[in-house]
Amino acid sequence: MTEQIQRKLSESKTARWAVLALVAFTMLCGYFITDMMAPLQDLLQTPVDGGGLGWTANEYGKFTSAYGWFNVFFLMLIFGGMILDKMGVRFTGVMATSIMLVGVFIKWFGVSHDFGGETVSIFGTEWGYPLLVASLGYALFGVGVEIAGITVSKIIVKWFKGKEMALAMGLEMACARIGTGLAIGITPLLSRAFGNSISMPIFIGLILLCIGLISFIVFVVMDKRRDVEDAAAATGEEEAEEPFRFGDILDIITLKGFWYMALLCVLFYSAVFPFLKYAPNLMINKFGIDPEWSGVIPALLPFGNILLTPFFGNLYDRKGKGATIMIIGSVMLIFIHCMFSIPMLNNWIVALCLIILLGIAFSLVPSAMWPSVPKIIPENKLGTAYALIFWVQNWGLMGVPYMIGIVLDKYCITGMVDGKPTYNYMIPMMIFTCFGILALFISLLLKREDRIKGYGLELPNIQKDADIVLAEEMIGEGQR
């Protein structure tokens, strides 16, 4: 009886869903801040005397790419993964959320001051101080939100393994997408409400993130209690989890399956998140949408994800077909970006339909991708494995927006209106299409590798885990 009460938290459905709600809320706040500058691109490019910061598309691209600077070049994400496997989810999560907070504060400080119009030369290019300081803040924030992302994945594996794992991951992503949707949809309205302010929406994000930190601290209390309960109820027969060793990185990176997953991740996400950074501007330039409402159609993408990601996650839990789901998502991606690149398809209804389709594709792939990683990598190396995958992905999240900014300024300017350039988005959209084609190729290789190695990507999660539990019980019976 006592044991039953003691083990309650780890087995309580309410507790695990409460844990999910707490950590997913923190991620919602993180994603809100990640994407909130996208609908302000037009304002950021407005000349200073018109109330903007007078950035070029190239400068906007530089700022956006800052997200990955520290993660990619200083290997912060990889260190984050190691810290996660060594120090655990509670320490790492609080650390990551605090880093996010400091980062947003610096970004807010950067855009709120003009620093007397001073500039500085870095690697031969001139940077205005607002751009530089805001980018450094965003780079720090990127470290925090990425480490928080891998931490939350590990939390979900800890609390949901053998249960509704893909559904839980899907729901967590759905919450994150609410953050993205709100960022894209309401930031222009917030900005307008405060007299076309760029700094006020960021300040609001800062306050939201403080609430996100409190939410994570409540999770910390629950998780600690669970560990105490688990330790008290331990019979001593349980297999102790192997601690993480440095050589584990080598074990991970020598797996072909890992590389297929990482490459698919960078290619697929490079065609979605960087696209979203430019989508409001695409709506203005290609579909003639008013800047104030330019975020509305792109915001439908993350809002579509909210329903569909858990739906597909649940489907994967019950029916499997993870590798096939990723192939279908990649095919859809090619079609959608290809249609976006055709200049005469410029009616807003086309934009609406394509964004809805992209929402479906962007629900399919993540709902199968993230729950598939634990099928390839053992749990004690999961933090590091997710970190390595995110590290590879960050090259894309950093490099692609930067490249698109350069391409826009160099090859796509069609004229000037109110001191701002207008763009033809055909070439950027063709670049995104190429990512889709490469993603399709890699997802086919992943499916082949799964057939060869028997990772079980095509098998249902719930069925598979139940079988393992049954097999373990039978072994236990035999030993007794």
Ligand X SMILES: NCCCC[C@H](N)C(=O)NCC(=O)O
Give residues in contact with ligand X (CB under 6 A): 31, 34-35, 146, 149, 173, 176, 269, 273, 366, 390, 393
Cβ proximity to ligand X: between 9 and 323 the closer is: 323
Cβ proximity to ligand X: between 19 and 77 the closer is: 77
Euclidean distance between CA atoms 135 and 176, whole angstroms: 22
Cβ proximity to ligand X: between 52 and 428 the closer is: 428
Minimum Å distance from CB 277 to ligand X?
9
465: which residues sit within 8 A by CB, 6+ positions away? 161, 162, 163, 165
Cβ proximity to ligand X: between 146 and 223 the closer is: 146
Cβ proximity to ligand X: between 28 and 132 the closer is: 28
Minimum Å distance from CB 302 to ligand X?
9
Euclidean distance between CA atoms 181 and 185, whole angstroms: 6
Minimum Å distance from CB 345 to ligand X?
27
Q: What is the DSSP letter of 344?
A: T
Cβ proximity to ligand X: between 59 and 146 the closer is: 146
- Facing residues of 127 across strands? 120
Cβ proximity to ligand X: between 335 and 395 the closer is: 395
Minimum Å distance from CB 150 to ligand X?
8
User: How many CA within 13 A on the CB side of residue 294?
Assistant: 27
Minimum Å distance from CB 176 to ligand X?
5
DSSP track, 447-468: HHHHHHHT--TTS-HHHHHHHH
- Find the angle CA(192)-CA(196)-CA(200) to the nearest 5 degrees: 90
Cβ proximity to ligand X: between 131 and 173 the closer is: 173
Minimum Å distance from CB 352 to ligand X?
22
Integer Rg of the chain from CA: 23
Minimum Å distance from CB 165 to ligand X?
15
Cβ proximity to ligand X: between 9 and 140 the closer is: 140
User: Which ranges in 254-347 belong to alpha helices (H)?
Assistant: 256-270, 273-287, 296-319, 322-341
Minimum Å distance from CB 386 to ligand X?
9
φ/ψ of 127, rounded to 5, equals -120, 125
DSSP, collapsed to helix, strand or coil, labels residue 35 as helix
Euclidean distance between CA atoms 324 and 312, whole angstroms: 12
Tokens 């992302």 identify what position?
Answer: 149
Minimum Å distance from CB 166 to ligand X?
13
Helix H or strand E encompassing 119: strand 119-122
H helices, E strands: number in the chain: 20, 4
467: which residues sit within 8 A by CB, 6+ positions away? none
